[in-house]
Structure 1
Amino acid sequence: MGVDPGLRRLALRTLLAAFPGPTPPEWATALLADGLAGHVLFAYNVADAGQLAKLTADLRAARSDVLIGIDEEGGDVTRLAHATGSPYPGNAALGVVDDPDLTRHIYAQLGVELADSGVNLDLAPTVDVNTDDDNPVIGTRSFGADPVRVAAHAAAAVTGLQEAGVAACAKHFPGHGATVADSHLELPTVDAPLDVLRARELPPFAAAIAAGVRAIMTAHLRVPALTGALPATFSRPALVDLLRRDLGFTGVVITDALEMRGSTLHSGGIPQAAVAALAAGCDLLCIGARVDAALVEATAAGIATAIRDGRLPLARVEEAVERVAALSTWTGHAPRGGDAEPGIGYPAALKAVRVEGPLDGLGTPLVVQLESESSIAVGRVPWGLGPHLGVAHQLRVVADRTDPATLLALAAGRSIVFAGRRVHRLPGAADLIESVAADAPTVVVEMGWPSSWRPKNVRAFVTTYGASHANGWAAAQSLHLP
C-alpha cells in the first residue's frame, strides 16, 4: 500500500531537511512545493553572502513561507564565517563581560546578517548552564555556570535576534550543561533530581520564554527523574508536562538532529525517531546534515504509516503543523530591524579577555598552537592566534608527540606562547608546557572553556573564553604581539 498523499503532505510539514552544496538540488525544491517545512543550512551550503542570498531566494521561490534555518551561534559555532572564524565572541565571552545590552546588540547584528541573507530561523542561542568543566559539547557555547547570569543573557540574545526579524531557538531543553558525554555520539545522562533541574537548568529557558522565544530545541539526553529511560526528545513529561504546562511555552518545539546517536541509539532509526518525537510533543523535526530525498520520503512515510495505524494521533500531527505554520507566518511578517555594524565583535571579545600574570617583555615569541579535535557541533573552523601574529612565528603541534627540547631550540632564547582549547584535557599538554616553562618565559592562552588548572612555572595565563576570529584578535592584542 502506498503512502496517502494527504498524510504525506501533513508529515512533510513537520520536517526540516538539508541538502549538500551551494545550490539547492531539484529534489530539495520539489519537496518544498509538496509541503516540506524547510531546510537547515550547513557550512557546505555557504560560500559567501551573495551566494547565500541567491540560495535562500531559490528556496523561497519554491514556496514563499519556507523555514530556512541555520546554526549560527557566533563564537566557536558559525556557518556564515566557517572559512575564517566568526567576527563575534561567543556566549562564554559575552557571559564573562556580563553586559546583557551588549549580548542583545551582538545577537541583533547576527540577526541582521541572517535576515539580509534570507535566513529566518536561527538555531540559537545555546542557553545551557555549563556546570561541568569537562563538558565536551557545550563549553564556550554557554553563557556560563550561573543560572541567573545565563538566564539574563538568554533573554537578551533572544530579544536581539528577534528584533532583527529572525526567529530564535533556545537550546538544548531541558539542559545539556551538566553532561560529560556528547549526544552526537552517545546518549548522555543528567542524573539530577527535579528540584536541582528547576534551580539549575530551567531558569534560562524560563527567561527565553518570557522574552518571547519562538522555538525551543530538545536535547537527546536522559534525565531519569524526569524522562526515565527515554531521551528528552521522546519524553511527554519533559515536553508536555514541564515545557508546555509548567513553563507555559506555546511556540514550536524543534528536535535536535534526529540522525544523532543520542536519538537513533534509542529509536532504531530516523523514521522511528520522527514518530516518537511527534508523539512526545515535538512539532518540527530536524533530520540532520546527511539528508537526501530518499531519507525525507522514508521519514514522511514512517509518520504517515504511524498515523494510519493509530500509533500516532492525527490530532497531534495537525497540532504540530499548526504551530509550524504560525512560526512561518511570524517570519514572514516580522520587522527587519537594525543596520549592519561591521567589526563590533572585536572590542566585545577584548572585554572578555582575562589575564593572570605579567605580559610585558614578551618580544617576538614563538607561538605554539596545540592542536585539538573540534566537536561535531563546531566543525572544522579556523581558530587561534595565527591570523593576528604579524612577524611572530607560529608552530602547530600535537602535545603528546612533541619534545620540549625541540620547542626550546626553535625558540632560540625567545619567549614561548602556547595557545590551545581545553588545554588541561589535551594528552601531554600539561607536561609539555611545564617542561618548557622551566627553561623559557612561557605564557598559556586558553581559548576553550577554562578549568581551575594552572601550569607550573608559567609567567602568565590568558583566558579568552572562545576561539573565534574575534577571540584570537583579542588575545593577540592582549599579548601586544608585533
Structure 2
Amino acid sequence: MPHDPTLERLANATLLVPFESLQAPRWILDGLADGISGVCLFHNNLESPEQVTALNASLCEATDTPLISLDEEGGDVTRIGQARGSDYPGNAALGAVDDTDLTRATLRALGVQLSGMGFNLDLAPSVDVNVADDNPVIGTRSFGADADLVARHAAASVQGLQEAGVAACAKHFPGHGATSKDSHHTLPVVEADADLLRRRELLPFRAAIDAGVRSILTAHIELPGLGGEGPATLNRALLNDLLRNEMGFTGVVVSDAMDMRGVSGEIGIPEASVLAVAAGCDLLCLGRFVYADQVARVRSALVQAVREGRLTGERLEEAAERNARLRDWVKESAETKATAEVTGTVGLAGARRATRVDGDIPPLDNPYVVEVEAPAGIAVGEVPWGLGPWFRDTVRLSPEADEPAAVLAAAADRDLVVVVRDAHRYPTTQEFVSALLSSRPEAVVVEMGLPIWRPDCGAYVSTYGAAHVNGLSAAELLGSAGALEATQ
C-alpha cells in the first residue's frame, strides 16, 4: 500500500486515543505531532493532580492545543475522584434538588478544576432521560425520569462547563435512558415510537444544542422508531439527517468508546470505526485499551476505506475541520474562562440539599454500619463508596455469601445502619435487608443509588448518588462526629 501522509493525517484527525501509562509514551507524542486530534485519559493515567497536570502539559508540547479529555461526570462516574469518590454530587442529586443555578455552578466548579489540570474536553454531561428503573448503565448518571427536568439541567451543565473553558459533550445521543441492557456488553434496542422518542429522548439534546454545546457523544443503541438499523453510532440517518439537518447541530460528533461490544463486537474496532466516520462521527473515542498497534490498524482501515471508495475523502476532511474548530474554541476560551470557583464547597452544598430523610433518625450511639455490596458497572469502575470513612465499625457484606443472622448477632445492643446502592436492581439485596429489618425494624436504611425500593424501616435516607460528598452528607445526618468535624 503506497504511503499517503496527507490521507493518514486526515485519518489521524478523527482519533481520540487512550494510552497505557502515567507518562505519555513516545507513540502518543509522535501521533499528536502527526495529526491525532487528542487523547482520552482513564484511571490508569491518573495518580495525583500534580502528575496529571504535568502529563497534560507534556501533551501540549507535542502539538498545539490537543484535545485532552476524560469521562468526568461528577458523582458516581469520576476519574479525578477515583481515590476516595467525587467532590461533586452527580446528576441524580442535582436533579432531585432541581435548581439550575446550582447545577450550573457545580459544573462550572468542576470545569475550573479540570481546566486547572490541563483538560479541555469533558465527555459529560449525561443527558439521558432515565425512564427504565432497571437501566444497568445510566441510573444516577441521569438528572431524572422527566424530560423537561433533564433538558433544563442539560443546558445548565453545558453552560457551567463551558464557562470554565472546558468543552462539554452531551451524551448518549439519541438517549440511553430507556434501555435495560448495557451497551458495553451488547446492542440494546429501545422499542418506542418516533413521537415518544422526540418528546422524551431528544428534548435534552435540543436544550444542550440551544445552550451551545460544543460536542455530542453517540450511543451504541438501536432505535427502530427513529429509522435505520444497527447502533446509532453507525446510523447516518440519525447522525446526519436527524442530528445535523433537523436538529441543527454544527459541532463535533464524538463516538462512544469503539471497543464496546454494542458497536464493534461483531465486526471489530477498525471496521466499526470506518462505518462510524462514514455515518457522521467526527471524533472516534477508541476506548480504554486500544493502544499503539490497534490505533495504527484503525488509521489504516480509514485510509484503505477511502482508497476503496467506501469512505470519501471529503467526509474525512469535514471531520478534521470540525475537530480543528473545536481545538480553536478551546484555545480561545482559555483566555476568558471562569477561574474563581471553590470546588469543594458547592459540591457538598448540593449533596446536602439533595439528601432526603423519610422517618426520624434517632440519636445513634456508636452504630454498627452494614454496607451491602453492589456490583460496579464498567462506566463507574472501582471507586470507593459508602459510610466507612465516617463510622469506625463499618463492614461490607455480600448478600449472596453472608448471613443476616451473623449481622444481627454482631449488632446486638447497638444501633443498626444498613447502606445499599440501587437495591431495587438486586433481589438478593432486598432479601438480605428485609431479613435484617424483620428483627430490627427500627434500623436506618441509607440508599446511595436511586430510591426506588423503599423498605419499612425506622428511617430511610436517600442520597441520590454514592460520591464522597453524598456519603458525607448522609454521615452528617446520622450524627457522625468525624463528618461533623470535617465540615466545620
Query: Distance in 1 between the 2:217 and 2:227 partners?
Result: 16
Query: Distance in 1 between the 2:296 and 2:405 partners?
Result: 58
Q: State the partner residue of 2:447.
A: 446
Please report how far the alpha carbon of residue 92 of structure 1 lies from its aligned counterpart in structure 2 after TM superposition: 0.2
CA offsets per residue over residues 193-249 of structure 1, 9 Å max, x none? 110001110111000000000000000000012243210001111111111111110
Query: Aligned to 1:79, what secondary structure does the other structure show?
Result: coil
CA contact (8 A) 2:40 2:68 kept: yes
Structure 1 residues 27, 398: CA separation in 2 closer, same or farther (over 3 Å shift)? same
Aligned pairs (5 A) from 1:178-327: 178-266=178-266, 268-327=267-326
Query: Aligned to 1:401, what secondary structure does the other structure show?
Result: coil
Query: Aligned to 1:172, what secondary structure does the other structure show?
Result: strand
Query: Distance in 1 between the 2:114 and 2:51 partners?
Result: 13
Aligned pairs (5 A) from 1:8-47: 8-47=8-47
Q: State the partner residue of 1:434.
A: 434
CA contact (8 A) 1:128 1:138 kept: yes
CA contact (8 A) 1:365 1:393 kept: yes
Please report how far the alpha carbon of residue 336 of structure 1 lies from its aligned counterpart in structure 2 after TM superposition: 2.2
Query: Aligned to 2:460, what secondary structure does the other structure show?
Result: strand
Please report how far the alpha carbon of residue 405 of structure 1 lies from its aligned counterpart in structure 2 after TM superposition: 1.4
Aligned pairs (5 A) from 1:346-357: 346-357=348-359
Equivalent residue letter for 2:139: G
CA contact (8 A) 1:350 1:474 kept: yes
Aligned pairs (5 A) from 1:408-427: 408-427=408-427
CA contact (8 A) 1:131 1:177 kept: yes
Using the aligned pairs only, state the percent identity: 52
Q: State the partner residue of 1:337.
A: 338
Equivalent residue letter for 1:158: V
CA contact (8 A) 1:111 1:166 kept: yes
CA offsets per residue over residues 244-292 of structure 1, 9 Å max, x none? 11111000000000000001135x0111011101111110011110021
Q: State the partner residue of 2:81.
A: 81
Question: Out of 359, 365, 368, which is 1:366 matched to?
Answer: 368
Please report how far the alpha carbon of residue 416 of structure 1 lies from its aligned counterpart in structure 2 after TM superposition: 1.3
Q: State the partner residue of 1:384.
A: 386
TM-score normalised by the chain length of structure 1: 0.97
CA offsets per residue over residues 335-377 of structure 1, 9 Å max, x none? 2212240422112101101111110233221100111111111
Q: State the partner residue of 2:60.
A: 60
Aligned pairs (5 A) from 1:168-187: 168-187=168-187
Please report how far the alpha carbon of residue 428 of structure 1 lies from its aligned counterpart in structure 2 after TM superposition: 2.1
Query: Distance in 1 between the 2:81 and 2:227 partners?
Result: 37
Equivalent residue letter for 2:273: A
Equivalent residue letter for 2:373: E
Please report how far the alpha carbon of residue 425 of structure 1 lies from its aligned counterpart in structure 2 after TM superposition: 2.2
Moved over 3 A (4+): none
CA contact (8 A) 2:110 2:343 kept: no
Q: State the partner residue of 1:134.
A: 134
Aligned pairs (5 A) from 1:92-107: 92-107=92-107
Equivalent residue letter for 1:121: L
Query: Aligned to 1:27, what secondary structure does the other structure show?
Result: helix
> Where does structure 2 lack aligned partners over 5 or more consecutive residues?
482-488
Query: Aligned to 1:399, what secondary structure does the other structure show?
Result: coil
Query: Distance in 2 between the 1:431 and 1:289 partners?
Result: 36
Please report how far the alpha carbon of residue 2 of structure 1 lies from its aligned counterpart in structure 2 after TM superposition: 3.9
Query: Distance in 1 between the 2:438 and 2:282 partners?
Result: 58
Query: Aligned to 1:145, what secondary structure does the other structure show?
Result: coil
CA offsets per residue over residues 302-348 of structure 1, 9 Å max, x none? 00000111110111111111100000100011022122404221121
CA contact (8 A) 1:400 1:427 kept: no
Q: State the partner residue of 1:477.
A: 476
> Where does structure 1 lack aligned partners over 5 or more consecutive residues?
none
Query: Aligned to 1:88, what secondary structure does the other structure show?
Result: coil
Query: Distance in 2 between the 1:271 and 1:70 partners?
Result: 22
Aligned pairs (5 A) from 1:114-153: 114-153=114-153
CA contact (8 A) 1:173 1:217 kept: yes
Query: Aligned to 2:277, what secondary structure does the other structure show?
Result: helix
Query: Aligned to 2:329, what secondary structure does the other structure show?
Result: helix
Equivalent residue letter for 2:215: A
Query: Distance in 1 between the 2:222 and 2:302 partners?
Result: 24
Please report how far the alpha carbon of residue 126 of structure 1 lies from its aligned counterpart in structure 2 after TM superposition: 0.4
CA offsets per residue over residues 369-405 of structure 1, 9 Å max, x none? 111111111111001111122xx41011001222121
Equivalent residue letter for 2:282: D
Query: Distance in 2 between the 1:342 and 1:253 partners?
Result: 29
Equivalent residue letter for 2:365: G
Query: Distance in 1 between the 2:234 and 2:88 partners?
Result: 34
Query: Aligned to 2:295, what secondary structure does the other structure show?
Result: helix
Query: Distance in 1 between the 2:109 and 2:125 partners?
Result: 13
Please report how far the alpha carbon of residue 3 of structure 1 lies from its aligned counterpart in structure 2 after TM superposition: 4.2
